[in-house]
Amino acid sequence: MNPDCRDMPPACFPTVQSKSDMNRKEIFSVISNRRLTARTMLLKVAGATGAITAPGQFVNIAVEGKYLRRPISLFDYDDDSITLLYDIVGDGTEWLATRRPGDPLDILTGLGNGFQPAPESRRPLLLGGGVGIAPMFALARRLRAEGKDITVVMGYNTAADVAAEKLFADEGFSTYVATVDGSRGTKGFVTDAIDANGLDGDYFYACGPLPMMRALCSALDLPGQLSLDQRMACGFGACMCCSLQTRSGDKRICKDGPIFFKEDLIWK
Amino acid sequence: MNKPDLSVSLSGVRLSNPVIPASGCFGYGYGMSEFYDIDILGSISFKGTTREPRFGNPLPRVAECPAGMINSVGLQNPGIDAVIAEELPKMREAFHNPIIANISGFSVDEYVECCEKIDREEQVAIIELNVSCPNVHGGGMSFGTSCDSVAEVVREVKKVASKPLYVKLTPNVTDIASVAIAARDAGADGFCAINTMLGMRVDIRRRRPVIANVMGGFSGPAIFPVAVRMVYQVAKATGLPVIGCGGVDSAAAVIEMMMAGASAVEIGAANLRDPYVCRDIIEELPAKMRELHIDRLSDIIGIVE
C-alpha cells in the first residue's frame, strides 16, 4: 500500500476485486506442523483464504524437489488460516512434515466443488477411513452451525493409527472409532461401528479408500455424498488426468468433484 | 526508451504476444478464467479434438518425474460436433483473440472431416494437426513417425482447410527435419515442435507401471533442451514458422526458444504446476527484453546461426 494513502478514507480504495484476477495462489506461513501418529500430521498455515467456498474443497501445495503439487483436503479453515490433516506417504509429504513455524508454503486454494447443501438431512453420519476423516472436520462444524445432529465415525487399521479422534471429541462431536484389528473401538470397519453402536442417521458423508466407499454405498440405505481421490496433475480441471465416468456424464474429480452424490457413482 | 514490442505473427495471424497455452494443458480456455483474464494470452491451442467423443485411457493417467511429468490421458474430448456447439461458444465469451484448433485423428478421413468442420469457425485462426496418434489403418504406427503418412494427411487436409495448417511434430523420430520437410512439401504452413517424448515409470513397490496405459508422454523442463534443438532443426530445414513447445516455464525460456527459431511459444506442463505461469511470463517478458536489449521480440526469431 502507498503510505501516502494511509489517512485517506476507505472509500478511495477499490472495493471490488477485478473479476478475472482471482488470486488462488498464496504464499502461506506455517503456524504449526504437529505429529499426531507415526504417519499423520496436522499442519496449520496462515494466509488469505478468500477463494475457499465450502468444506470438502482441497488445496494443492508445492513441495520442494517435486514437479507437481500435492492435493490435500481442507481439515479446517477460517478467514486467515487453513488446517490440513495429512499422511506421510512419500517424498513430497515427507518434506512437508519437516516444515517449521514461519516457513513459507506455496499453496493453491479453493479447489474442487466442496460438499453440497443437503437441507433434507437432519441427522447426518460423517464417516472417514484413515486420513479420509480430514474433510469431515470443517463439514461437522458447518453442519452443527446449521443445527444438525451430527455423528462422526472413523475407521483405522490399528489403535496406533487413530489420529483424529481427539480432535473431534475435543470439539464436542459425538465420535466413534473402528479398528480392523479391534485394538481400539469396534473391531472391524466403519459399518461395524455403526451397527455395534446402533447409530442412526438420515444422510451420510464419506471419505476414505475406494473399497470402504463402495461398501458404504451398498451397506447404507441412505442418500449421501462421497469425497473421491485420484492421482491428479493440475487439481483445477485443465489436464483431464483424474476423469471419472458417472451417471451424469464424464467428470473431473478435481474440478467437478471431489464431492459426488452417491446416486451419481457407478461401481464397476 | 520505447515500450518493448511483444507482438509476433504466424502465417499472417498477428498475436499480441508469443505466449500460447499448449493443447491439453488449458482445456478450452474458459475454465482458466477463474485464475486470470485469459484475454492477455497471444492465443490458446485448445484441447486435442477428435471426430468422436472420447473418454480416454484408464486411470492413473499421470506419473511424476524429477523435472516434469508423464501423461496418458488418451485424447479425452467431447468430439468435434460438441466442441463446436458447446465448447467454442463458451471459449468465445472468455477469449477474444485468435484460436489455434488442435485436431487429432486415427485415420486420414477423420482428420479431414474434423478440419473441414473447424475451418469454418471464424475465431479459429490456425489448425494445429496432432500427428502423434496411431494410424489405425496403417498398422497402428503414429502418423507423425513416417514421412509418407504425414505427407498424406497434410495433403488431404489442405484440400478442405483454408486456414494455415501447422503440424505438431512428435519428437519420437530419428530425424525430425525429414518429417518436417515432407510435411512442408505436402503443403504445411508451419509447425509446432515438439509434442511429448515417450516415457515410462515403474512403481517399484507394486512392481508395475505407474501409468495404467504403461507408457505416456513426457513433458516439462526436462525436455526443454531437446525441444530447443528440434525447433532449431525444423526452422532451419523448412524455413517455415515454428511454434516452440516443450518445457518452457519462464520469459528467459521463451526468448531462448525464439532465438533458436520459434515464431511463438506454447506452454504446457508448466500450467499444471502453476495456473498463473502464462500470465507471469507475459508480465516478465518486457523486463527480460530490456535486460537483453531486445526492442521487438520478432527481431530475435531464429537469430542463432
Mutation test of the interface with chain B: which of A239, A250, A251, A255, choosing the one with the most B Cβ atoms within 10 A? Answer: A239
Q: Is the pLDDT of residue B2 over 80?
A: no
Write out the residue limits of the CATH 2.40.30.10 domain(s) in chain A: 22-111
Query: Are the CB atoms for B260 and B231 separated by under 8 Å?
Result: yes
**Global confidence as pTM:** 0.93
Query: Quick one: average pLDDT of B90-95?
Result: 96
Confidence of residue B1 (pLDDT cuts 50, 70, 90): low
Q: Is the pLDDT of residue B261 over 70?
A: yes
Contact state of B62 with A236 under an 8 Å Cβ cutoff: no
Domains and CATH numbers, chain B: 8-53+76-196+219-300 (3.20.20.70)
**Chain A contact set for B27 (CB, 8 A):** 237-238, 240
**Chain B contact set for A255 (CB, 8 A):** 31
Mutation test of the interface with chain A: which of B38, B54, B61, choosing the one with the most A Cβ atoms within 10 A? Answer: B61
For the domain A22-111, what is the CATH code?
A: 2.40.30.10
Long-range Cβ contact pairs of A29-34 (< 8 A, separation 24 or more): A29/A102, A29/A103, A29/A104, A29/A105, A30/A99, A30/A100, A30/A101, A30/A102, A30/A103, A30/A104, A30/A105, A31/A81, A31/A101, A32/A101, A33/A96, A33/A97, A33/A99, A33/A100, A33/A101
Active site (catalytic) residues of B: 133
Q: Is the pLDDT of residue A31 over 90?
A: yes
Write out the residue limits of the CATH 3.40.50.80 domain(s) in chain A: 124-227
Collect all residues with Cβ–Cβ distance below 8 Å to A165 and sequence separation of at least 6. A154, A175, A177
Counting residues of chain B whose pLDDT is more than 70, the rounded percentage is 99
Confidence of residue A2 (pLDDT cuts 50, 70, 90): very low
For the domain A124-227, what is the CATH code?
A: 3.40.50.80
Q: Taking a contact as any Cβ pair under 8 Å apart, which residues of chain B between 27 and 56 contact chain A?
A: 27, 31-38, 47, 55-56
Q: Is the ipTM of this complex over 0.90?
A: yes
Q: Give the closest of B26, B56, B220 to A238, CB-based.
A: B26
pLDDT, position A21: 58
